[in-house]
């Protein structure tokens, strides 16, 4: 999450006011550099969240030095940055050089650009296009892999299309549609923007194509939303079942581990880690961390603190949540969000961690899954029985994934190809604290087979040919 300097000691990072300064209470630039170096030594890349759609409300003095802001637009968080008005060339340069600073001076490996839909710009050459080009130029000059990843709720395929095809040139985009679809199937929550989701067909489309809303009418937005994405590679999409926004912007900051059963946690993990897209895990998700993740601040101006409190209350209105949100200014709620790493070695938490490891092993070892190729994937579904089948192939290797979102056993024809199939993983196995598998260890399919199997409730099975 963002580390640009903000007032106070604790913050999500989206109230930064000095884009080039690294938060002093986190260790400053030297601390960040040590962290990046340590990660690189053991083969880990570091992705940094950057905010180019607004600056924070406290300690924001850039307006005293130039035409950084404009009253032609507004954002949900305050004044919009001036990327297309008079004197905007210098403003754009300031932020483009900031992106260059992170990747060239501190050796950050990728930038996740916050809420690009709130970067308001009608220039012939968009700031976002220049931003992606700047990152890639440093990559070319330094002979490193450096990526630009966008967060956007617009479902605009241009973000991740090549510049020569009229795109902005970003390498990937967060796919909120995948999260929303999966979340509703697991929890049944249909409030707020979740009202647009709830069909098995939608998750199947996310697996196969990327965006779910690709021009269809959205009841929540009350307009058509999105553009087609089926022509874009699956590795352009980042998928997840949890992230800081989707947890922290709930009134009580509950993780999935507090909202669904253990079987559903395993099913969620399998959907994310075995999807043909790039998986993202939220901290502690891999072992079912139970600590909440609240929104927290440490502003010094009482009026601003009260405004944030009222804003949080208003933000939850569309979800019809009752009660009073935890006080974001309170240090105690900040302390509550800290992880309890000891859970990793206890009970179901330990089993869930081992289950994640098994999923990663499958993702690494089975070529049809780790190739991330939309051309070699077929997704089928049964809406009534709440089941998704995903078939993937590469040369002679074939894999079949069976996801059952129903709370009941379902007997259903299984779309195996001809040949001998072996079960690789079944989340219903007692090994994974399931109720016991009903799926055979081996399946032989011939030309005349009409094979139906009984699939356990809220479970995932993987077969390999």
CATH code of the domain in which 392 resides: 2.60.40.1180
Residues 84 and 229 in one domain: yes
Residues 318 and 431 in one domain: no
Q: How distant is the alpha carbon of residue 190 from its chain centre? A: 20
* Phi and psi angles of residue 422, each rounded to the nearest 5 degrees, phi first: -120, 140
Is residue 114 among the annotated active site residues? yes
Catalytic residue among 49, 79, 151, 176: 151
Which pLDDT belongs to residue 457?
A: 97
Cα(369)–Cα(391) distance, integer angstroms? 9
CATH number at residue 129: 3.20.20.80
The span from the first CA to the last CA of the chain, in angstroms, equals 41
Tell me how far CA of residue 239 lies from CA of 101, 146, 348, in angstroms: 28, 20, 24
Instruction: Write out the residue range of the structural domain in which residue 214 sits.
Output: 4-347
Residues 232 and 286 in one domain: yes
Strand partners for 224: 217
Which pLDDT belongs to residue 387?
A: 98
Residue 278, in any domain of the structure: yes
- Residue pair 432/461 in contact (Cβ under 8 Å)? The answer is no
Residues 341 and 408 in one domain: no
Residues 247 and 326 in one domain: yes
* Phi and psi angles of residue 329, each rounded to the nearest 5 degrees, phi first: -80, -15
Tell me how far CA of residue 365 lies from CA of 1, 134, 368, 393, 402, in angstroms: 31, 35, 9, 13, 18
Sign of the C-alpha dihedral, residues 197, 200, 205, 207? positive
Residue 154, in any domain of the structure: yes
* pLDDT by residue, tens only, the chain of 465 residues: 999 999 999 999 999 999 999 999 999 999 999 999 999 999 999 999 999 999 999 999 999 999 999 999 989 888 899 999 999 999 999 999 999 999 999 999 999 999 999 999 999 999 999 999 999 999 999 999 999 999 999 999 999 999 999 999 999 999 999 999 999 999 999 999 999 999 999 999 999 999 999 999 999 999 999 999 999 999 999 999 999 999 998 989 999 999 999 999 999 999 999 999 999 999 999 999 999 999 999 999 999 999 888 888 877 776 777 778 899 999 999 999 999 999 999 999 999 999 999 999 999 999 899 888 888 999 999 999 999 999 999 988 999 999 999 999 999 999 998 999 999 999 999 999 999 999 999 999 987 777 899 999 999 999 999
Residue 72, in any domain of the structure: yes
Closest by CA to 226, choosing from 241, 210, 242, is 210
Residues 341 and 448 in one domain: no
Residue 352, in any domain of the structure: no
Rounded to whole angstroms, the maximal C-alpha distance in the chain is 78
Residues 440 and 312 in one domain: no
Catalytic residue among 15, 49, 109, 114: 114
Residue 357, in any domain of the structure: no
Which pLDDT belongs to residue 391?
A: 95
Which pLDDT belongs to residue 318?
A: 67
Closest by CA to 275, choosing from 396, 404, 401, is 401
Residue 363, in any domain of the structure: no
Residue 340, in any domain of the structure: yes
Q: Which of 347, 381, 400 is the last residue of a domain?
A: 347
Residues 103 and 191 in one domain: yes
Residues 9 and 42 in one domain: yes
Domain count along the chain: 2
- Residue pair 173/159 in contact (Cβ under 8 Å)? The answer is yes
Residues 126 and 207 in one domain: yes
Residues 90-103 as b/e (b if ≥16 CB within 10 A, e otherwise) read: ebbebbbebbeebb
Residues 222 and 128 in one domain: yes
Residue 353, in any domain of the structure: no
> Which distant-in-sequence residues (6+ apart) come within 8 Å of 314 by Cβ?
none
Q: Are strands 47-50 and 419-426 parallel, antiparallel or unpaired?
A: unpaired
At residue 247's C-alpha, the angle toward residues 111 and 287, to 5°, is 90
Residues 343 and 394 in one domain: no
């Amino acid at each position: 999450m963002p580390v640009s300097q903000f007032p106070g000691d604790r913050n999500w990072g989206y109230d930064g006011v000095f884009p080039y300064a690294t938060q002093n209470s986190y260790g400053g630039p030297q601390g960040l550099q040590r962290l990046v170096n340590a990660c690189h030594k053991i083969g880990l890349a570091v992705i940094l969240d950057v905010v180019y759609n607004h600056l924070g409300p406290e300690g924001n003095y850039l307006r005293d030095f130039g035409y950084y802001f404009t009253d032609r637009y507004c954002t949900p968080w305050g004044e919009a940055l001036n990327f297309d008005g008079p004197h905007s060339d210098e403003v754009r340069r300031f932020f483009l050089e900031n992106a260059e600073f992170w990747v060239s001076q501190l050796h950050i490996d990728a930038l996740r650009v916050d809420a690009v839909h709130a970067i308001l710009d009608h220039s012939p050459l968009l700031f976002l296009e220049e931003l992606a080009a700047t990152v890639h130029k440093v990559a070319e000059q330094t002979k490193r892999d450096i990526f630009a990843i966008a967060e956007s709720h617009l479902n605009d395929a241009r973000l991740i299309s090549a510049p020569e095809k009229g795109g902005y040139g970003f390498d990937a985009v967060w796919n909120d549609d995948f999260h929303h679809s999966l979340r509703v199937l697991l929890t049944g929550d249909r409030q707020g923007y979740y009202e647009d989701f709830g069909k098995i067909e939608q998750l199947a489309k996310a697996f196969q194509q990327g965006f779910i809303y690709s021009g269809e009418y959205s009841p929540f937005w009350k307009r058509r939303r999105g553009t087609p994405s089926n022509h874009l590679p699956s590795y352009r999409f980042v998928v997840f079942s949890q992230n800081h926004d989707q947890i922290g912007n709930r009134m009580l900051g509950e993780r999935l581990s507090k909202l669904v059963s253990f079987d559903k946690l395993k099913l969620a993990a399998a959907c994310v880690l075995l999807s043909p897209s790039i998986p993202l895990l939220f901290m502690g998700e891999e072992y079912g961390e139970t600590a909440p993740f609240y929104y927290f601040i440490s502003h010094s101006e009482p009026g601003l603190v009260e405004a944030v409190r009222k804003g949080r209350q208003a933000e939850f209105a569309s979800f019809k949540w009752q009660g009073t949100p935890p006080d974001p200014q309170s240090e105690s709620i900040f302390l509550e969000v800290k992880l309890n790493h000891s859970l990793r070695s206890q009970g179901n938490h330990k089993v869930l961690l081992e289950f994640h490891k098994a999923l990663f092993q499958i993702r690494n070892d089975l070529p049809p899954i780790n190739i991330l190729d939309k051309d070699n994937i077929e997704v089928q579904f049964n809406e009534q029985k709440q089941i998704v089948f995903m078939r993937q192939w590469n040369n002679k290797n074939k894999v079949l994934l069976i996801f059952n979102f129903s709370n009941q056993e379902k007997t259903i024809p299984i779309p195996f190809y001809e040949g001998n199939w072996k079960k690789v993983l079944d989340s219903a196995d007692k090994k994974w604290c399931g109720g016991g598998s009903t799926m055979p260890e081996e399946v032989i399919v011939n030309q005349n087979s009409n094979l139906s199997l009984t699939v356990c409730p809220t479970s995932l099975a993987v077969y390999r040919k």
